[in-house]
Amino acid sequence: MPAITFYKHEPIPMEMHKVKIVQQLHLLPTARRLEKMQRAGFNTFQLHNGDIFLDMLTDSGVNAMSDLQQSAMLRADDAYAGSETFFRMRDKLEELFGMPFCLPAHQGRACENILATRFVKPDSCVIMNYHFTTAKAHITRLGGRVEELVRAEGLVSKSDLPFKGNIDLEALETCILRETPANVPFVRLEAGTNLIGGQPISFANMQAATDICRRHGVLTVLDASLLQDNLYFIKTREKEMQSLSVREITRKIADLFDIIYFSARKFGFARGGAILVRDEALFHSMEDLVPMFEGFLTYGGMSVKEMEAMTVGFEESMDMDVISQGPQFIDYCVDRLSEYGIPVITPGGGLGAHIDVKEFLPHVPQTEYSACALACALYICGGIRGMERGTLSEERERDGSERIASMELLRLAFPRRVFTLSQTEYVIDRVKWLFDHRDLVGGLRFVHEPATLRFFTGVLEPTSDWPEKLAAAYRADFGDEQ
Ligand SMILES: *Cc1c(COP(=O)(O)O)cnc(C)c1O
């Protein structure tokens, strides 16, 4: 985004796009929202989208598309095998990443399934800066373990460090030696580290980490699902990289890794995914898994229309005007919440604003899923849907005990180019109201607890009648209709 400044105001993020198609929104009255929350088992994943005013659950598959993406969808070449659409997508990816081999898959977790199936054996140890839910689930499903070595300061919620996603380099080398390189199928670095608040990794850290891996003969994998945010932060926060274009930075990053995969529900503003590989033998070693799990090698379970849209989306991700939008809106929201004294992860990252629920609700223990409780409270008080990213999103330990998340977060995702500044102001306003009434929010417990990825389908109930009391306080302030 060009730095457009205002004559008489604070910094305000400027949209470098205009609205061409809209979707009407509805705000249910508070009493109806309380009912809908009860019916959804106090799990925001179980709400119906029509009952939501602002959907800030995720940035996955819900980013606004551009006119160029929409028009590209019309020329999609439908073919079971050899679709021209696939070759256009592969060529664009090779142009940007310099990796000639592309395994298409229907979304990010499908790539994770293929990588885990190919490389993970019982008791092997995958090292990461930080885990992502589905990446970890595929590894543990196969009996593998995950070692998270993000630097300690990455888990401190209030900070002014520019790259909180960085991996601890010393710990990485120690861990490879302790496990022995043969037992480490790959080291996975996650750009725009999702579960610690969309926090970026610096280019310097990626370079040093991949150097260590290469010295020990360990494969390196980049999860590039949130790469566009990470590119923005490298360009704006890493001094040594500022003279390079986004395209040049992308290529320099890609050159460090053996394998790159991504969810095109985020990267590319569409719906899909792919694994990119530089080495031909490595490519062939995974090739058979694509037709088995996804679809033929030239569509991988994706719609060709989506593949055309993402091909345009990859190119658009090289444009600073495009990739600035998310981080700048998030930064605005984070700054405003901080001014109100609301505990929020700083500095603002990509993906969304993240509220530190341990501080927001100190009276609700993490064993009562405080971040999920706050997500439910924000839906009841405002019709805003956020996502729990804390203890509920963890899996239990092998002995069945609860694994307490190191960060207990409520994520308010900012899908790209979707919400306006007045909608953002509404979110800030309702979070502030909740903060002033936080004593009214209580805990949750499971009624039905699935064994894996329990946050998607789990059914919970409140530990007291706090939702009713909270709704009553909200209606007293805003009336029955909102
Ligand atoms: C969303 C995401 C995934 C999984 O992608 P899906 O398309 O939702 O399956 C993997 N890694 C990261 C970092 C993500 O943000």
In a domain, 15, yes or no: no
Nearest-atom number in ligand 1 for the CA of 193 is 13
In a domain, 191, yes or no: yes
Q: Are residues 240 and 357 both part of a single domain?
A: no
What is the domain extent for residue 379? 30-59+322-478
Tell me the pTM: 0.95
32 catalytic, yes or no?
no
Q: Are residues 102 and 250 both part of a single domain?
A: yes
Centroid of ligand 1 to alpha carbon of 9 (angstroms): 37
Centroid of ligand 1 to alpha carbon of 263 (angstroms): 5
In a domain, 149, yes or no: yes
Residue nearest to atom 3 of ligand 1 (CA): 108
Q: Are residues 279 and 362 both part of a single domain?
A: no
In a domain, 7, yes or no: no
CATH value at residue 208: 3.40.640.10
In a domain, 144, yes or no: yes
Catalytic residue among 168, 223, 331, 356: 223
What pLDDT, on the 0 to 100 scale, is given for residue 11?
A: 82
Residue nearest to atom 5 of ligand 1 (CA): 108
92 catalytic, yes or no?
no
In a domain, 172, yes or no: yes
What pLDDT, on the 0 to 100 scale, is given for residue 2?
A: 55
Nearest-atom number in ligand 1 for the CA of 263 is 7
132 catalytic, yes or no?
yes
Residue nearest to atom 8 of ligand 1 (CA): 108
- Decide: 409 and 390 in contact? Cβ < 8 Å: yes
Q: Are residues 267 and 355 both part of a single domain?
A: no
* Among 289, 321, 353, residue at a domain's last position: 321
Buried b (16+ CB within 10 A) or exposed e, 177-211: eebeeeebbbbbbbbbbbbbbbbbbbbebbeebbe
30 catalytic, yes or no?
no
CATH value at residue 431: 3.90.1150.10
What pLDDT, on the 0 to 100 scale, is given for residue 9?
A: 73
Q: Are residues 287 and 376 both part of a single domain?
A: no
Flag residues of the chain having pLDDT under 50: none
Centroid of ligand 1 to alpha carbon of 233 (angstroms): 19
Q: Are residues 55 and 76 both part of a single domain?
A: no
What pLDDT, on the 0 to 100 scale, is given for residue 178?
A: 98
In a domain, 5, yes or no: no
What pLDDT, on the 0 to 100 scale, is given for residue 475?
A: 97
Residue nearest to atom 4 of ligand 1 (CA): 108
* Among 269, 286, 321, residue at a domain's last position: 321
Q: Are residues 97 and 205 both part of a single domain?
A: yes
With tokens 């995720």, the residue in question is 58
Centroid of ligand 1 to alpha carbon of 410 (angstroms): 17
In a domain, 8, yes or no: no
Q: Are residues 250 and 171 both part of a single domain?
A: yes
Q: Are residues 409 and 375 both part of a single domain?
A: yes
Centroid of ligand 1 to alpha carbon of 444 (angstroms): 27
Residues 6+ apart with CB under 8 A from 158: 343, 345, 346, 356
**Phi/psi at 388 (5° precision):** -65, 130
Catalytic residue among 6, 80, 160, 480: 80
**Candidates 194, 267, 409, 456: which one to mutate for ligand 1, based on the most atoms within 8 Å of Cβ?**
194
Query: Residues lining ligand 1, CB < 6 A?
Result: 60, 107-109, 132, 134-135, 190, 194, 223, 225-226, 263, 265-266, 273
* Among 273, 292, 321, residue at a domain's last position: 321
Euclidean distance between CA atoms 113 and 90, whole angstroms: 21
Catalytic residue among 101, 132, 203, 369: 132
Q: Are residues 348 and 231 both part of a single domain?
A: no
Tell me how many domains the chain contains. 2
What pLDDT, on the 0 to 100 scale, is given for residue 6?
A: 87
Q: Are residues 294 and 437 both part of a single domain?
A: no
78 catalytic, yes or no?
no
**Candidates 131, 263, 456: which one to mutate for ligand 1, based on the most atoms within 8 Å of Cβ?**
263
Euclidean distance between CA atoms 199 and 190, whole angstroms: 10
Exposed/middle/buried for residue 99 (C-beta within 10 Å: 0-12, 13-18, 19+): buried
Q: Are residues 333 and 449 both part of a single domain?
A: yes
Centroid of ligand 1 to alpha carbon of 60 (angstroms): 8
